[in-house]
Structure 1
Amino acid sequence: MKFLAALTFVTAALAYGVDPADTELCTLPAYVCKPDFSGWLVCNLDSHFLDGGNCPEGTACEYINDLPYCV
């Protein structure tokens, strides 16, 4: 349930253009799309979002079942 609450908050923050990598602590496990949807961020053990990777060319990060995927 904590994961869902954190994911909801981060998703709302992204909708308003806030980069979670710069402003918020996260709770494991947490994965979110980058603000420009070019890849994803992952929560580390220190509760900070880190760059998780970039989507392949011609794809973008989208949420499927509340998780980020490159499609």
Structure 2
Amino acid sequence: MNLSDRYPTKLEGVPLAKFLSMSSIWREAEEEINRAIAINLLRRKVAIDIITPSTGLSIEEVQQPQQQLNESR
């Protein structure tokens, strides 16, 4: 008996296209969450060099909402 027999994956029988679609949706949701976290940190005056490794966003991805926040003030 191998490990997959004892612990079947939840993706058994899921077509590859559907799995890839689910993965894409998950990545998009994760990116949106990270952008929201970055905006909240920017509002609290957290430095970009702390936000980027904390969220996985690039410097440019963090600077864009920072500029929007500065313009709205």
Q: How would you bin the TM-score normalised by the shorter chain?
A: 0.3 to 0.5
Would you tell me which structure has more strand in proportion to its own residues?
1
Would you tell me which structure has more helix in proportion to its own residues?
2
Higher gyration radius (CA): 2
TM-score in terms of structure 2 length: 0.38
